[in-house]
């Protein structure tokens, strides 16, 4: 089944304790992206990657890191989490060929993170 898989789905952690949220897709998509969802704000992009070894900041990158060493994986790293990073996180991917703006994003199921 074509899918984007995120782990963990739920996590409670404490301020300053490094954590990684993994994201993996099995559709050979070039483009991957991380979003956070907060009430009333919709989805805001954290980082994105056009292809392997190519990453760039989205709208709200502060406090986050990413890497894209392999095409299928795009982990989100919080080096020193803070309470304002408590949120629902989504990873998504799509093909980046042709008229790529028309390609559909496939989303993971989400990771709910609470930072105490």
Q: Least distance from C-beta 16 to another protein, angstroms?
A: 28
Which one of 12-20, 34-42, 62-70, 77-85 is the stretch in contact with another protein (CB under 8 A)?
Answer: 34-42
* Binding string, residues 54-93; x marks residues near another protein by CB under 8 A: --x-x-------------------------------x-x-
Q: Least distance from C-beta 18 to another protein, angstroms?
A: 25
Reduce the DSSP state of residue 102 to 3 states and report it: helix
Binding to another protein by residue 104, rule CB under 8 A? yes
Interface residue with another protein among 11, 19, 50, 52 (CB under 8 A) is: 50
Strands 31-38 and 4-7: unpaired
Write the CB contacts of 109 (distance below 8 Å, at least 6 apart in sequence): 6, 9
Q: Cα angle at 58 between 105 and 41, to 5 degrees?
A: 75
Binding to another protein by residue 45, rule CB under 8 A? yes
Dihedral angle, C-alpha 70, 73, 74, 78, nearest 10 °? -110
Binding to another protein by residue 108, rule CB under 8 A? yes
Q: What are phi and psi of 87, to 5 degrees?
A: -175, 175
Read off the tokens for 14: 């404490």
Q: Which is nearer to another protein, 73 or 82 (CB)?
A: 73
């Amino acid at each position: 089944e074509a899918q984007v898989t995120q782990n963990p789905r739920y996590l409670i952690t404490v301020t300053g304790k490094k954590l990684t949220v993994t994201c993996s897709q099995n559709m050979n998509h070039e483009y991957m992206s991380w979003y956070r969802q907060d009430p009333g704000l919709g989805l805001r992009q954290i980082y994105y990657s056009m292809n392997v070894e190519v990453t760039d900041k989205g709208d709200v990158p502060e406090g986050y890191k990413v890497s894209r060493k392999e095409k299928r994986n795009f982990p989100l790293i919080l080096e020193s989490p803070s309470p304002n990073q408590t949120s629902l996180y989504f990873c998504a991917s799509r093909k980046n060929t042709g008229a790529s703006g028309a390609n559909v994003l496939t989303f993971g199921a989400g990771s709910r993170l609470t930072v105490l």
